[in-house]
Copies of this chain bind each other. A is one copy, B any other.
Amino acid sequence: MPEAAHQIEVGHFFFIFIVILLAAKLAGEAFERIGQPAVLGELVAGVLVGQSVLGLVPVDPAHPYGAMVHVLAEIGVAILLFEIGLETDLREMFRVGPASLTVALVGVVLPFLFGYLFWHWYEGGVSLTAIFVGATLTATSVGITARVLTDLGKINTSEARIIIGAAVLDDILGLLILAVVEGLANTGSVSLFGVVKLFVLAVGFLAVAMAIGLTTAPLLFELVNRMRVRGVLVIFSLVFALTLAFLADRVGLAPIVGAFAGGLILSRTNQFDTIVEQIKPVADVFTPIFFVSVGAAVNVRILDPRVPANHEILIVGGALFVIAVLGKVAAGYSVFWQPLNKIAIGAGMIPRGEVGLIFAQIGLLGGILTQDVFSAILIMVMGTTLITPPVLKILFQRTETTGAAEREPAPVEQAPMRPEIRDLE
């Protein structure tokens, strides 16, 4: 049989897919039973089956199977944000807009400043490295928070809306920071015109997509509703979400921002209920791939304190982790005039995820960050990712959230004829 260098063996990919789904649901269930969020179980399952422990699930995009897992994970998190967009009231999003903007801005400025000053003190002088370390601390990875809040039935609180709005704005800010750090890494200078152009493109894309989408989607889905072949509604919803994700990617935004906008738009169609019901099993299949692959990317070896070379990395990583947490918690308190659970808002912004890693990778390849600094940043990213689910669960359950506009429980949480028992305690 012809064997190309990167020939994929279908059976082996089936095996990886089985491991991901099985590990995610078994660990999710175990964590749920001990009172922890299911998504933390999925992340931990990912660590176990991932590169540094059992090695069953590759996530390196340069690895043929790793590339597949990576792509399916991105589809998974896009579908998750699409689902959350479907559940989100657009007017409520606009209502909390000023609060989201405040949280986003403060949550970018403070971690950057803290990180910069820390490195300035640690290295004893001004450097590009300090700017890069600061930049890696600014990003927010909203997938984990969104999943926890969905599982807790809190996705329709004002707090959740502020977090998601701030995360979308963070992504736009992250795009600009990326342009700045890439300019610094490659040429040592920054084109103000380029940065402004990016900003206009990103904001313009979202505005135009929402405007066109909100006017044409109801008509489009009336047509889809008249189609006769099987599965058109779920397929066209998915195509709609993926198309906006693809376009967002093309203007430099994260695909999830586009997918979220797609959900917001389709929540205004007449077919809304059926879309929510039918996209749910598809989300169930795809989203665990994202969380397991996030866990699988964790390298537990750099956490081993028995290796002397890890000591300084662990200490610096720990310091960055503290800065990362404090910076975002402070951002939550920046909306001091709101009668809301402010610490929960800040906690929801903690996970750094892949965006911080992208900045760090550019710094590493540009020779601005050493391998050790990169590893310390990795510790910060891993720590913020793993700590968020349990912290959010405590914060959202301890004090009742005060969102005045809290809607009735989301339809996605109570689809008919599902035998699962929701454990909201």
Q: Which residues of chain A have a CB within 8 Å of any CB of chain B?
A: 1-2, 4-8, 10-11, 13-15, 17-18, 21-22, 24-25, 28-29, 32-33, 38, 61-62, 64, 67-68, 70-71, 74-75, 78, 151, 225, 227-236, 238-239, 242-243, 245-246, 249-250, 255, 271, 274, 277-285, 288, 358, 361-362, 365, 416-423
Contact = CB atoms under 8 A, between A and B. Distances in A.
Contact of A281 (B64, B68, B228, B231): B231
A362 B2 CA distance: 8
Given A230-B420, A281-B281, 4 more contacts: A1-B361, A21-B238, A25-B236, A235-B288
Contact of A67 (B8, B25, B75): B8
A365 B1 CA distance: 7
A416 to B, nearest CB: 8
* Interface of chain A, main secondary structure: helix
B10 A255 contact: yes
Contacts of A232: 25, 29, 420
A71 B8 contact: yes
A148 to B, nearest CB: 12
A274 B419 contact: yes
B32 A422 contact: no
A228 B68 contact: no
B67 A64 contact: yes
A418 B67 CA distance: 35
A361 B67 contact: no
A60 to B, nearest CB: 8
A235 B14 contact: no
A279 B231 CA distance: 12
A243 B5 CA distance: 26
Contact of A285 (B67, B229, B235): B235
Given A4-B61, A230-B420, A358-B1, A249 B14 contact: yes
A229 B28 contact: yes
Given A11-B246, A29-B232, A420 B227 contact: yes
What are the 3 closest A-B residue pairs judged by CB atoms, nearest first?
A231-B284, A4-B62, A11-B249
